[in-house]
C-alpha cells in the first residue's frame, strides 16, 4: 500500500480481529478476564453521503491483497485510498463524517479509549447441523427407561385444518455461524504501541474473527 495517507482521524468505532482470551489485574488488584483484539491499520476508502448514496457512512479498507488476487474493479476503487491492489477487508461504519476525514485518511486506534462502553458485532462460531434439543434448548422427554421419548422434538403438525407445519417451527438445522451483537462491553485497555485492545465481555466468534466495535 502506498504511503498516501496524510491525516489521522478518530471514529465512533473500529474493526479488529479476535486473537483469544487473557486476563489482567485492575488498579484495585481485581482479576479481570479479557478478550484480546488485534487492530490492523485501516484507511478510508470511500465517503458515502446522503445526497449521493442515500445514507451517511465511511467505507474502510485494510490488509492489502496481492495483484494476482485483485480484480480490476477493486484496484480502481481503492486506488485513491493508497492501495496498489485490492484489500481483503472492506467494511462500512455508519456515522457522521468527522472533521478532516478524506479518502486515504488513516483510522486511529485511539478512536476507542480505556473505559468506553461498546456494542460488539461479529459472526458466531458455526456448530454444524444440530438436533432440536441442542439447537433450541428443548427439555426433552422423561429419562426413565419406559418413556421411549427422550431427545425428540415432539409433534410438529396440526389437525386437518390448516393441515401443515406453521412457518417458524423450531426444527433441527444449522446452529451458529450467524451475526451476533453484544451490548455493554467495556474497553479495559488500549495498547496503541502493540495495536491491541482488551475487552471485557462475551465477544462472539472464534480466533481470527473480524469484530466490529461501536461506542454506545
- The answer to whether residue 2 is domain-embedded is no
Query: Is residue 74 domain-shared with residue 144, that is, in the same domain?
Result: no
- Give just the sign of the alpha carbon dihedral 94, 97, 98, 101: positive
166-191 residue pLDDT tens = 999 999 999 999 999 999 999 999 99
- Rounded CA-CA distance 180/143 in Å is 34
pLDDT of residue 7: 84
Is there a domain that residue 149 lies in? yes
Specify if 52 maps to a domain: yes
pLDDT on residue 41: 92
Residue 113 sits in which domain range? 8-121+187-215
Query: Is residue 50 assigned to a domain?
Result: yes
**Considering the entire predicted model, what is its pTM?**
0.86
Dist. CA 85–CA 2, nearest whole Å: 10
CATH number at residue 103: 3.30.160.810
Query: How many domains would you assign to the chain?
Result: 2
168 and 141 fall within a common domain: yes
210 and 147, same structural domain? no
43 and 77 both lie in a single domain: yes
Amino acid at each position: 500500500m502506498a504511503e498516501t495517507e496524510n491525516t489521522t482521524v478518530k471514529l465512533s468505532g473500529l474493526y479488529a480481529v479476535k486473537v483469544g482470551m487473557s486476563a489482567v489485574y485492575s488498579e484495585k488488584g481485581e482479576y479481570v478476564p479479557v478478550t484480546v483484539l488485534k487492530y490492523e491499520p485501516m484507511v478510508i476508502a470511500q465517503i458515502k453521503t446522503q445526497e449521493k448514496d442515500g445514507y451517511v457512512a465511511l467505507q474502510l479498507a485494510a490488509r492489502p491483497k496481492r495483484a494476482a488476487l485483485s480484480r480490476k474493479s477493486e484496484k480502481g476503487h481503492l486506488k485513491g485510498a493508497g492501495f496498489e491492489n485490492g484489500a481483503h477487508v472492506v467494511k462500512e461504519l455508519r456515522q457522521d463524517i468527522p472533521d478532516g476525514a478524506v479518502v486515504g485518511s488513516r483510522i486511529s486506534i485511539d478512536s476507542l479509549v480505556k473505559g468506553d462502553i461498546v456494542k460488539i458485532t461479529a459472526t458466531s462460531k458455526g456448530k454444524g447441523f444440530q438436533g432440536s434439543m441442542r439447537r433450541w434448548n428443548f427439555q426433552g422427554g422423561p429419562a426413565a427407561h419406559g418413556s421411549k421419548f427422550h431427545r425428540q422434538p415432539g409433534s410438529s403438525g396440526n389437525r386437518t385444518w390448516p393441515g401443515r407445519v406453521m412457518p417458524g417451527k423450531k426444527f433441527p438445522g444449522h446452529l451458529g455461524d450467524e451475526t451476533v451483537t453484544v451490548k455493554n462491553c467495556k474497553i479495559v485497555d488500549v495498547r496503541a504501541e502493540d495495536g491491541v485492545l482488551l475487552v471485557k465481555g462475551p465477544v462472539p466468534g472464534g480466533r481470527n474473527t473480524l469484530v466490529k466495535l461501536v461506542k454506545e
